Chain A
Amino acid sequence: MKRSTLHTMLVAVVICTAPLLVLAARVGQAAPDFTATASIGKAFRLSDYRGKYVVLEWHNNGCPYVGKHYRSGNMQRLQKQWTGQGVVWFTIISSAPGKQGYVTATEENEYLAKMQAAPTAALLDPTGEIGHLYDAKTSPQMVVINPQGIVIYDGAIDDRPTTDLSDIAGATNYVNLALEQAMAGKQVQTPTTRPYGCSVKYPDSTH
């Protein structure tokens, strides 16, 4: 009895401290694995896509920085271009219920249809677990993972940290650069940048 109580306590301590010990994703290191339910109802596990390039796109449909890339059609173009070349593209929504950008599966499916978005899947992360795993700070923060499961890019979508649609033309798109350089067998020249945008609306977000 005593022993099992102690055991339970130890397990509880391990469980409580474990999230603190998990290191967030870093460029050059293995991409942390996760399983998430997509808006279409299917579960996706990152490690099932070893052998392919994977793009993670943090999304919040109420964020003006995200709006810049969707209303211009820029994000959809990127999604179509890269999934057309065999890249797996996960849009990840880490907004907590009640926070800006939180959507139900149905709402997200409607949004995807309306915006003609074309990710491989939109993953629902209302607890923020995947967001924390990647230390996602903003939407649209972008992560590129190579076929060996290594993070090769983490940061902004491009070099124009504004909400102006007119800044898309002429911007240097870091996701394109990372994918193009990696696919050509080259070193990614800019492996990380400050991810611009709105803060990810985790359960404790206040700003």
Chain B
Amino acid sequence: MTPKRPKLEPIYPTLFEMENLEKGRPNKKMRGSDSSRRLSPALMFGVALVLRAGGAQGAETPIPHGTLELVAENQWVTPGHDFSLGLHFQLEKGWHIYWVNPGDSGEPLRVTWQLPPGLSPGVIEWPAPRRLGTSRIVDFGYENAVTLIVPMHADSSLAAQPLARLGAEIKVLICREMCIPGKTELSLALPVKSQRPAPDPRTRDLFAATRKELPRPAPQNWKFSVDDAGDSFVLAANVTPQITQAIFFPLAEAQIDNSAPQILLPLAPGFRLTLRKSDRLLKPIERLKGVLVLSGNHAYLIDVPVIKRGARRSNSGSGIQEIQYSMGGT
């Protein structure tokens, strides 16, 4: 699960500012001058953390109960070539951060970029999350270590320069039994060169491992359907491999009951997964979008039109008609 990564060296200049908003808790780990305290979470993981040398170099920025590092996949930025940055979190045991849909509680991180003209961020690529919680309250998030990849667009007009400063203000909620909001500023200085992009060997394994965890589009020959069955949605698929495990993570909040067990019925071929609707879902939905994690931790992005139960029987036409029916009904 934890991506293998090279031993950490002070790769990039990092600025940080932490803010612990929790009432009555002095900001020991974040702002304290005692560097051993600041290092303790990382040391608990046995991570080789290199101290900032005169403020010019840094590796991981402390966040409550963990560290965060802004990393680049390439050694430099090439005008006209898009590239990827990574937000690499390492969390103390038991602590977690949230997926884009956090589930019943919590919130996903928010990033505000400060970028030179010519650079613009894309949408965060979120690895498949895990269900975290109890029988009553279930959140979607990540424990231990996770890297969020942020695609960046580099305009061809970007001027070559020795060091371009890429800054990000991160607001992130870190929770175990309780939640602590963290705020930090990261920055990374990368040269801008006209030379072809070259991967940075220090982050190659990290990005490769992270990409393996990203949900991918389902194979084209897999057919999905979603029935609106009153109290639940029934997600069916004709997948050929034997499915013994399936967990669905909805992209939108308040569509399914996050804490309800998801009932898997293996079929030959395929399966049916029954998802209890959220009590807060008062209107029909047109499509069910999310990440489906199947046996073997294979994660797929799915986006399936929702069909009212009964529509199928009364409407014996093609799939297209079924889709039209469901869209007309909402």
Contact = CB atoms under 8 A, between A and B. Distances in A.
Contacts of A191: 282
A204 to B, nearest CB: 5
B160 interface: no
A99 interface: yes
Main secondary structure of the interface of B (DSSP, over half): loop
B132 A207 contact: yes
Interface string A142-161: 00000000000011000001
Contact of B107 (A67, A196, A200): A196
Interface stretch (A118-126, A131-139, A177-185): A131-139
Contacts of A138: 104-105
Contacts of B104: 137-138, 199
Nearest to A201: B177
B72 to A, nearest CB: 28
Interface string A49-68: 00000000000001111010
Contacts of B180: 64
B204 interface: no
B196 interface: no
Contact of B179 (A132, A137, A161, A198): A198
Interface in B272-329: 279-280, 282
A24 B180 CA distance: 29
Interface centre among A63, A64, A162 (most CB of B within 10 A): A64
A100 B254 contact: no
A193 to B, nearest CB: 7
A11 B181 CA distance: 47
B177 A161 contact: no
Nearest to B135: A204
B279 A163 contact: no
A62 B280 contact: no
A159 B23 CA distance: 23
A163 B181 contact: yes
B216 interface: no
B22 interface: yes
B181 A192 contact: no
A163 B21 contact: yes
B67 to A, nearest CB: 20
Interface residues of B, number: 30
B280 to A, nearest CB: 4
A207 B253 contact: no
B290 to A, nearest CB: 15
A4 interface: no
Interface string B161-182: 0000000000101011111110
A207 B107 contact: no
Given A27-B282, A163-B181, A207 B135 contact: no
A67 B24 CA distance: 11
Contacts of B227: none
A137 B137 contact: yes
B96 A207 contact: yes
B197 interface: no
Given A196-B107, A199-B139, A207 B175 contact: yes
Contacts of B195: none
B280 A99 contact: no
Contacts of A192: 254, 279-280, 282
Interface string A186-205: 00000111101111111011
Counting from the closest, the 9 A-B pairs by CB-CB distance are: A199-B105, A163-B181, A192-B280, A137-B104, A100-B178, A194-B253, A199-B137, A194-B254, A138-B105
Given A64-B22, A100-B178, 14 more contacts: A26-B279, A62-B178, A64-B179, A64-B181, A67-B21, A71-B23, A137-B105, A161-B107, A197-B105, A199-B137, A202-B136, A204-B136, A205-B134, A207-B133
12 contacts: A27-B282, A64-B21, A71-B23, A137-B104, A192-B254, A192-B279, A193-B254, A197-B105, A199-B106, A199-B139, A205-B134, A205-B137
